[in-house]
Amino acid sequence: MNFNPVTAVASRKPVDHVRITVYEYDSGYFHEETTDTVADCFRFAETDTKKWINVDGVRREEVEALCRHFNIHFLLMEDIMSEGQRAKMDEIGENLFCLLPMCYFKMESSAVDIEQVSLVLGKNVVISFQDDPNRDVFNPIRERLRTAGTKLRVSGSDYLLYALLDVIVDNYFIVMDHLGDRIELMEDIIPRQPNNRTLARVNYLRRELMEFKRGITPVRDLMSGLMKSENVLLEENTGKYFKDVSDHIIQAVDLAESYRDIVINLQELYHAQMNQKLNEVMKVLTVVTTLLAPLTVITGIYGMNFDHMPELKNPNGYFITIGVMLLIFLGMIIFFRKRGWF
């Protein structure tokens, strides 16, 4: 098989270490092996037992060797090596290929981190490729494989593919739970602290939610493709499980859309709070200006430099003027209060 690349590959950060874990199993047998050398996996291609080969750290040398030995088409290899792709499903040669995002929520920064995962289904084998060797969401799958008698152990490799897709999609809801908590927090903060910092936090939350929604939305088409596929690698009774994952991803996308609308409403709430705050300031300034306007007129009249002003000769003129000004001031306050203006 020719493995010469014919498409441009997006630049990928160099990986210092690649860890390969092989889970070989059937209903009565289980073997787990971790290695740093891709050649150690080649012997598993000849066995009839079911295998899950999980590659942590995507590096061209190891990917090319695995694809060559397990007869994976070079176009799929290029997809595995690329970055930033939309979720998709392909059937090329003897394999069925799924690419989708695996999402995490960073508590310290309230950010959604998206990692690209590639899954290749072959005869009696699933090969998964992921970037970060220190984290994934597959631990429940590993525990079920180690436990004798589980459905995962007695079912085919297509059921393992379903289980991997299911746990990835289920983790989307965990991410959205954290996003929902942040949304509720902002709903409490905005009425109390409608300032630029709060607006920046709302905009940041909206951006993270949009990136998350953009990443998971194409997974609907991936699951639709699996349900419509007539690939011989997929057993007929596995279709109902893919349908279940499809229902979950549709629900996740709808929930992400609802969260997006809520965040937009938060922005509108922020602007409403700012407008209300501005109106309160303008109201105070208007009342103060109105109260001082008559007093300003009086002081302006008696501040004129005319010789013949009768009140200037009155020894009590100053006190009378101040009294009149106070009466006007108090009268206006009483009038405003009766009208409910403040």
CATH of the domain at 327: 1.20.58.340
Angle (nearest 5°) at CA 139 between 49 and 250: 100
pLDDT at 286: 80
| Mean per-residue pLDDT, 145-166 | 94
Please give the Cα distance from 118 to 127 (Å, whole number). Answer: 8
- Specify burial of residue 192 (Cβ count, 10 A radius: 0-12, 13-18, 19+): exposed
Q: State the total domains in the chain.
A: 2
- Does the pLDDT of residue 2 top 50, yes or no? no
| Mean per-residue pLDDT, 69-98 | 91
- Does the pLDDT of residue 298 top 70, yes or no? yes
Q: Which residue shows structure tokens 């009839």?
A: 48
Q: How far is C-alpha 1 from the chain's CA centre?
A: 40
227 lies in the same domain as 329? no
- Does the pLDDT of residue 26 top 80, yes or no? yes
pLDDT at 268: 83
Q: Among the listed ranges 109-113, 225-229, 297-301, which one has the minimum average pLDDT value?
A: 297-301
pLDDT at 7: 45
Structural domain that includes position 80: 19-272
| Mean per-residue pLDDT, 61-87 | 90
Question: Residue 167 — very low, low, confident or very high, per pLDDT cuts 50/70/90?
Answer: very high
34 lies in the same domain as 175? yes
| Mean per-residue pLDDT, 82-107 | 92
Q: What is the biggest distance separating any 2 CA atoms in the chain, rounded to whole angstroms?
A: 120
Domain boundary among 216, 246, 272: 272
pLDDT at 8: 46
Residue percentage of the chain with pLDDT more than 70: 94
Please give the Cα distance from 234 to 230 (Å, whole number). Answer: 7
Phi-psi region of 110 (alpha: psi -120 to 50; beta: other; left: phi over 0): left
Residue percentage of the chain with pLDDT more than 90: 49
User: Which residue, 307, 302, 304, 296, is CA-closest to 317?
Assistant: 302
110 lies in the same domain as 245? yes
User: Is residue 239 in some structural domain?
Assistant: yes
Please give the Cα distance from 30 to 147 (Å, whole number). Answer: 9
pLDDT at 199: 85
pLDDT at 190: 83
| Mean per-residue pLDDT, 27-51 | 89
Please give the Cα distance from 310 to 308 (Å, whole number). Answer: 6
How is the beta sheet containing 111-122 ordered, strand by strand?
Answer: 29-35, 19-26, 50-56, 125-130, 111-122, 95-106, 88-92
- Does the pLDDT of residue 122 top 70, yes or no? yes
pLDDT at 328: 84
Mean pLDDT computed over every residue of the chain: 87
pLDDT digit string, tens, across residues 192-233 = 888 888 888 888 999 999 999 999 999 999 999 999 998 999
46 lies in the same domain as 130? yes
Q: Which residue shows structure tokens 């190891």?
A: 62
CATH of the domain at 190: 3.30.460.20
The amino acid at residue 112 is V
| Mean per-residue pLDDT, 130-143 | 90
pLDDT at 12: 63
296 lies in the same domain as 242? no
pLDDT at 11: 53
User: Is residue 12 in some structural domain?
Assistant: no
| Mean per-residue pLDDT, 282-287 | 80
Domain boundary among 253, 272, 291: 272
pTM summary value: 0.80
Q: Among the listed ranges 69-73, 165-169, 197-201, 271-275, which one has the minimum average pLDDT value?
A: 271-275
pLDDT digit string, tens, across residues 304-338 = 776 677 766 777 777 877 888 888 888 888 887 88
Domain boundary among 272, 301, 318: 272
262 lies in the same domain as 292? no
| Mean per-residue pLDDT, 72-76 | 90
Q: Among the listed ranges 114-123, 242-251, 271-280, which one has the minimum average pLDDT value?
A: 271-280
